[in-house]
Amino acid sequence: MPAQEQPGLVWLRLLRLPGRVALFVLRWVVATPPKKPRSFLRTWTARAIPVICAAWLFICGPCNLLLPTHPGFSSVSDKKVTVYHQDHPPDLVNKVLAYARAGHERCHEFWGEPPGGVGHISIYLCGSRGRYRQLSFGGSGNAGSAGSSVMLYPAGVGQQNLAAIIRHEMSHAYLRQHIGYWQSFRVPVWLDEGIATYLGEPTWASAEALRKRLEAMQTPSIVSVVSVSSRFDWADVALGGPGAVPRQYACARGFVDYLVTQHGEGKLKHFVHQSLLNDVDDAFASVYAAKLTEMEHAWLTHEIASGHVPARTQLVTRRHSVVTAVRFYLPYALILFAILWVIRQCFVVGRLVTRLIRA
């Protein structure tokens, strides 16, 4: 009988592969490039690519939002909001400004005053979906947010849902202002999206809309809301066929609505803060004295009893897809490669300067 391996050794074995990969990457970054001279074309192509990428990022890409001037945008401001637009009709711009003021009020009522005071919100109305995708770094749909900036493609959103979408995106911005940008990544996505959709009250994610969507399904099923905790999980849900994304927003809103109706908004905010300190299940149990999955089943039972969803509705687990994994992680891999490439170039320049000084 083989001797039982000590737990410490098992961990060492598990760490061997990532350790080797990290060592390979480190060697690539600090290694001396080959002495063999490169052709003129290769040298200048290698220099031009990062310059073109940086120019794109700052001139028309997402980093454009960080610049003090925004090429191609005019702006209208009040104390708390600036609306940047691309020659949109004045009545639409004024409407957006009014919706944003109302959004501030609703978000402030729910979230309260952020520790550093209410931050200024910038809303970018894009003239085309292409421009929206550039600013949101290839974001899907018609609306998104980053930090305290909200990007919108009004023609795609439609007049009917404009107020709800603005409030939804402002809720994300408020959450970041409350707990900090990096901390906000630790909040489960279903909770962040659920609260934002609950505050926005969009017609496309209402109880009525969810019931109609489920009735249209042969086997009415809901992807377990609480299993969608990361951005990757959320992207995975989108592969569930047409209507999967609005259905998921409606479910996240429905579950958050249920928690608020049963236990109040105060407990929900307390849970948001606890989820930063503990494992989500433990945080939920400590705030609601119940298991998260059991509460989700109680919600579905309640929805069926109230006639909000068909009686045959089932909770299903999220399916995992390799395609989504590649599509989701590829941009991050490219960004990481670009950062490592820049560090590698710094080493090359450093060596060149050292050689010049010694000479």
CA distance 328 to 325: 5
Closest to Zn ion by CB, 50 vs 138, is 138
Which residues are within 8 A (CB) of 183 and not within 5 positions of it... i.e. 6 or more apart? Answer: 276
Distance of closest approach, residue 206 Cβ to Zn ion, in angstroms = 16
Q: Of the ranges 130-138, 191-199, 305-313, 337-345, which one interacts with Zn ion (CB under 5 A)? A: 191-199
- Residues 314-339 as b or e (16 or more Cβ within 10 Å = b): ebeebeeeeebeeebeeeeeeeeeee
Fill in the DSSP letter of residue 203.
G
Q: Mark the segment that binds Zn ion (CB under 5 A) among 52-60, 189-197, 283-291, 316-324.
A: 189-197
Q: What angle do CA 320, 141, 149 make, to 5 degrees?
A: 110
Q: Least separation, in Å, of the C-beta of 171 and Zn ion? A: 8
Residues binding Zn ion: number (CB under 5 A): 2
Q: Segment contacting Zn ion (CB under 5 A): 100-108, 188-196, 205-213, 268-276?
A: 188-196
Nearer to Zn ion, 133 or 288 (CB): 133
Binders in 195-234 for Zn ion, by CB under 5 A: 196
Comparing CB distances to Zn ion, the nearer of 170 and 280 is 170
Minimal CA–CA distance to 142: which of 122, 169, 174?
169
Q: How far is the CB of 175 from Zn ion (least distance, A)?
A: 10
Q: Provide the mask over 167-186, with x wherever binding to Zn ion is found by CB under 5 A and - wherever it is not.
A: --------------------
Rounded to a whole number of angstroms, the minimum distance from the CB of residue 193 to Zn ion is 5
Stretch that binds Zn ion, among 130-138, 193-201, 217-225, 300-308 (CB under 5 A): 193-201
Using alpha carbons only, how large is the chain's radius of gyration in Å?
25
CB of 343 to Zn ion, least distance (A): 33
- Kindly indicate which of the ranges 10-18, 82-90, 154-162, 190-198 contains the residues binding Zn ion, using the contact rule CB under 5 A: 190-198
Strands 149-152 and 143-146: antiparallel
Residue with smaller CB distance to Zn ion, 196 or 226? 196
DSSP 95-154: HHHHHHHHHHHHHHHHH---TT-PPPEEEEE-SSHHHHHHHTTS--SSEEEETTEEEE-H
In whole angstroms, the minimum distance from the beta carbon of 136 to Zn ion comes to 12
On the CB side of 358, how many CA atoms lie within 13 Å of its CA?
6
The length of the chain, given as a count of residues: 359
Helix (DSSP H) and strand (DSSP E) numbers for the chain: 14, 7
Evaluate whether 226 touches 188 at the Cβ level (below 8 Å).
Answer: yes
Q: Which is nearer to Zn ion, 193 or 236 (CB)?
A: 193
Q: Least CB distance from residue 57 to Zn ion, whole Å?
A: 23
Contact residues: Zn ion, CB under 5 A: 193, 196
